[in-house]
Amino acid sequence: MALRSNFGANNARTVIRRAQWVSLGINPEDMERPKVALVNTSNDLAACFAHLDEIVNVLKTRAYETGLLPFEIRTAAPSDFVTSAGKGGRYILPSRDLITNDIEVMVEGAQLDAMICLSSCDKTTPGHLMAAGRLNIPTIIIPCGYQRSGLAEGGDSDVEEVFFKSAVQAMDGKIEDDVLRQADDAIRSPGVCSGLATANSMHMVAEALGMTVPHAAPVQANSEHMWDVVDRSVDAIAVAVEKNLTPRRIMTNASVNTAVRTMLSVGGSNNTIKHLQAVAVETGLDIDVWETYRKLGRETPTLCSIRPNGDHLVEDLEASGGAATVLKELLPLIGGDQLTITGKTLVENLETAKPADGKVVRPLDAPLSTSPAIVVVKGSLVPEGAVVKRPIPDPGPFEFTGPAKIFHSREEGIEAVSRGDIQPGDVAVIRGLGVTGGPAMGMVSAFIFALNGRGLSEKVAVISDGQLSGLVNRGIVVGEASPEAAADGPLGRMQNGDQVHIDLITGTVDLLVDEEVLAARPPYQAPPATEDFSGLLDQYRATVQPLACGAVLCGNGPCSAPKA
Catalytic residues: 469
What residue type is assigned to position 274 of the chain?
A: K
Residue 347 zone, left/alpha/beta (φ > 0; ψ -120 to 50; rest): alpha
What gap in Å lies between CA 52 and CA 79, rounded to an integer? 14
Ranges of beta strands (E only) in 357-434 are 374-377, 385-389, 399-407, 427-430
What gap in Å lies between CA 417 and CA 414, rounded to an integer? 5
Please report how the helices 198-209 and 253-266 are oriented relative to each other, as an axis angle in degrees rounded to 10. 140
What gap in Å lies between CA 401 and CA 450, rounded to an integer? 21
Helix H, strand E, coil C: the string for 5-59 is CCCCCCCHHHHHHHHHHHHCCCCHHHCCCCEEEEEECCCCCCHHHCCHHHHHHHH
CA distances from 459 to 70, 316, 447, 479 (A): 55, 32, 14, 17
Cβ distance 313 to 152 under 8 Å? yes
Contacts of 364 (CB under 8 A, 6+ apart): 301, 303, 329, 330, 332, 333, 356
User: What is the 8-class DSSP label of residue 530?
Assistant: S
Cβ distance 550 to 281 under 8 Å? yes
What gap in Å lies between CA 99 and CA 126, rounded to an integer? 9
H helix or E strand, kind and range, residue 70: strand 69-74
Query: Which ranges in 210-359 belong to alpha helices (H)?
Result: 224-243, 247-250, 253-266, 272-283, 289-296, 314-319, 322-334, 346-349
What gap in Å lies between CA 545 and CA 561, rounded to an integer? 11
Handedness of CA 80, 85, 91, 95 (dihedral sign): negative
Collapsing DSSP to helix, strand or coil, 295 comes out as helix
Query: Which ranges in 284-433 belong to alpha helices (H)?
Result: 289-296, 314-319, 322-334, 346-349, 410-419
Contacts of 181 (CB under 8 A, 6+ apart): none
User: What is the 8-class DSSP label of residue 78?
Assistant: -
Beta pairing partners, 502 = 400, 509
Cβ distance 250 to 339 under 8 Å? yes
What's the chain's length in residues?
564
Q: How many CB atoms lie within 10 A of CB 340?
A: 27
